[in-house]
Amino acid sequence: MKYFDKINNQLIFIKKKSTPMFWDKHWENFDISNEIKKGSRDQFISRITKRYITPSTTKKILEGGCGMGQFVYSLEINGYNAYGIDYAKKTIKKINESMPSLKISFGNVQNTQFPDNFFHGYWSLGVIEHFFEGYDNIISEMSRIIKPKGYLFITFPYMSPIRKIKSRFGLYTIFSRKKFQKNDFYQFALDYKKVQRDIEKKGFSLVKKMPFDGIKGLKDEITIIKPLLQKIYDSQNIFIRILKITISALFSPLTSHSILLVFKKND
């Protein structure tokens, strides 16, 4: 269920609260070792990172909110000195037992234990939208631990053009704080321009923005075609996957579920 918050120009997704226990439960039946190794097939994270940071074991990169660790593994095998933190303790324990060589540990993205100016890069993949109280503490911590001239790569669900159109035509239920229960909150679809301004206030400059996952936004926002698109979205068939990539690319400018923002920290 989605609600439109008119005051903050964002969607509020009602599902189940995003807690460490929620994610541990979500991931408990996955084969952690197999999931980590899927990072070897990653093209998105490694390709984007290489555009801005030359691969080197002296270049330290953190994924804050690393989940099962596949992207930390991807960064590591692509030549970076990769770190990961997450607050899902049971999942982190499984990762450490399965692949102890990876520098993945229990941690809080709002208050990490890393020194100032420690990282050349920081990936945040779908994290800031899960904090109902806001993301200010998270981006303050990002600013503290990223080196001057270092890079922040951040993704989150956002108010895409199709979501803006639907909100203008009153196609979402309007959010009412009086009726809202915090334990029902799952995530936001954020106003990316507000996120951009908030991060720039912490000493960063935007260098790239890229909407992505057009097929997910299309299936989630136009429900009449969702059953068909869901089958395409979930399929592992190579030809269907090519179709998925094509549809996603065609519709990304209008229907993308998420957006990537790349920032460079100022001197």
Q: Mean pLDDT throughout 140-166?
A: 98
Of 26-40, 188-202, 222-236, which gets the smallest average pLDDT?
222-236
* Start-to-end CA span in the chain (Å): 43
What pLDDT does residue 178 have? 76
Q: Mean pLDDT throughout 121-126?
A: 98
What pLDDT does residue 73 have? 98
Q: Mean pLDDT throughout 117-144?
A: 97
For residue 198, what pLDDT band results from cuts at 50, 70 and 90?
A: very high
Percent of the chain with pLDDT over 70: 100
Is the pTM of the predicted complex or chain greater than 0.75? yes
C-alpha distances in Å from residue 137, one per residue of 103, 128, 133, 263: 23, 10, 10, 17
What pLDDT does residue 15 have? 85
Residue-range domains of the chain with CATH: 2-265 (3.40.50.150)
- Residue 184 pLDDT > 90: no
What pLDDT does residue 176 have? 85
Residue 174 one-letter amino acid? I
The rounded distance, in Å, linking the Cα atoms of 264 and 151 is 5
Identify whether the C-beta of residue 66 lies closer than 8 Å to the C-beta of residue 42.
no
Pairing of strands 10-14, 173-174: unpaired
Which stretches does DSSP call E strand in 51-203? 60-64, 81-86, 103-106, 119-125, 146-157, 173-174, 185-189
| Gyration radius of the chain's alpha carbons | 18
Identify whether the C-beta of residue 161 lies closer than 8 Å to the C-beta of residue 256.
no
For residue 263, what pLDDT band results from cuts at 50, 70 and 90?
A: very high
- More confident call, 176 vs 98: 98
The rounded distance, in Å, linking the Cα atoms of 196 and 203 is 11
Locate 257 and state its tokens: 């579920």
Q: Mean pLDDT throughout 29-58?
A: 96
- Residue 241 pLDDT > 90: no
